[in-house]
Structure 1
Amino acid sequence: MIGKLKGLIDEIGEDHCIIDVNGVGYVVHCSARTLSALDRVGTATTLYIETYVREDMIRLYGFGTALEREWFRLLMGNVQGVGAKVALAVLSTLSPSELANAIALRDIAMVSRAPGVGKKVAERIVTELKSKAPAFAGEASGTIGLKQELGEGVAPTPVADAVSALANLGYSRDIAANAVAAGLRAAGENADTGALIRLGLKELAK
């Protein structure tokens, strides 16, 4: 099975590219996000590959990062009604961190922005992947976990109070949670509300 391709870009199409590896051209189907990140034809690139083998077909799906590939696997393997086409549409519309954020906040509207993803499919995605979002959120995993706790009403009191305080100042709850999460990482789990508010405001001022 092919797990990664490193070669020269030979062609960039609407939903695929061709990567020339030592004279052999591999057709790789990609999300619009991955294709838009590719350089011009003739330049070197590396794609992480998910290989699908059927009786009548071998198809390669390519991604710019290993995390994007993991989300593709997660969508394909855990959500009923989500095949390769829908998974690529989701990843074309949302970055891995945006997708993890949408799942944590149960933002069905954000997920349904992807072409071909209706409300029912979007609801299945956020429901069936909720417990898996933190593990696949990459650098945002701490923030995603905090947002889940806020949504479920189990976040520590200083954290919840700090988020509420920033929200009362006019920031959206999502932005406030991001800022407080950054402050929590800097100050540690025992930080009080005042410290988290100050650090959150400092983060927002950047």
Structure 2
Amino acid sequence: MITYLTGTLTEATPLRAVVELNGIGYEVHVPVTTAERLPQTGNSVKLHTHVVYREDSQTLYGFATTEDRDFFCMLIEHVSGVGPKVALSIMSRLSLPLLESAIREGDVTTLSKCPGIGKKTAERLVVELRNRLGAASSAPSPVAGDGKAGGPDGAPGSGAVTDAIAALTVLGYKTADADKAVRRALVALGGAPSTEALIKKALGR
């Protein structure tokens, strides 16, 4: 099993990355929330991976953190009707802290707005994953590259992320738009910014 891949990023799109290692280019399918944190092409990158084996194919999926990868595995292994394509779609729409928060709180409305799932699938996410989520969750952090530290070390707690998202929704942002703005703010600020810093950056201040 390939658990992570470290090499040179040679191609990147919102849902796909190519990592060159020892002269071999590995095609890795990634969610948008990971693609947003990729370095510029030509730089070193580390992706935490999961391989899906089928009779006629082997598909590699990559994520910015082990927490993202483990959540993806939970989706495809424990939620009936959710395969890798739908799981990537869900994780492309919302960041991990917001997804975990919505599942814990039974927020079917937010979950059902993810492409590829309806109300029934959203309800299954809550029922089948709520008890599997740990007490703590991780916030997004840049993927290694461009001098930025990858992995969960130094990343802000999920509380700062969810609080910033909540503040933006109070200001009139839709949940998904607020989540996207906070993700961009995290990448731009780096390190472990406070809730206030995230809000200001998301608002362009």
TM-score (norm 2): 0.66
Query: 1:70–1:136: 8 Å Cα contact kept in structure 2?
Result: no
In structure 2, the partner of 1:37 is 37
Equivalent in the alignment of 1:57: 57
Structure 1 residues 13-49: Cα deviation after superposition (integer angstroms, max 9, x where no partner)? 3421100012110000010111121111111100001
Shift of 1:140: 4.7
Query: Which consecutive unaligned segments of at least 5 residues does structure 1 have?
Result: 145-169, 171-202
Q: Which structure is higher in RCO with an 8 Å CA cutoff and minimum separation 6?
A: 2
Larger Rg: 1
The residue aligned with 2:179 is: none
Q: Give the AA of the match of 2:89.
A: A
Q: How many angstroms does 1:134 deviate by?
A: 2.7
What is the match of residue 26 of structure 2? 26
Deviation at 1:88, TM superposition (A): 0.7
Report the counterpart of residue 16 of structure 1 in structure 2: 16
Runs of 4+ aligned residues of structure 1 deviating over 6 Å after TM superposition are 203-206
RMSD: 2.4
The reply on whether 1:126 has 2:126 as its aligned counterpart is yes
State the distance in 1 between where 2:78 and 2:55 align: 23
Map 1:1-206 onto structure 2 (within 5 A): 1-135=1-135, 137-138=137-138, 140=158
TM-score, with structure 1 as normaliser: 0.65
Q: CA deviation at 1:95?
A: 1.6
Determine what percentage of the aligned residue pairs are the same residue.
Answer: 37
1:83/1:205 Cα in 2 relative to 1: closer, same or farther (>3 Å)?
closer
Q: Which protein is richer in helix relative to its size?
A: 1
Gaps of 5+ in 2: 139-156, 163-169, 171-193, 198-205
Count of matched residue positions in the alignment of Structure 1 and Structure 2: 147
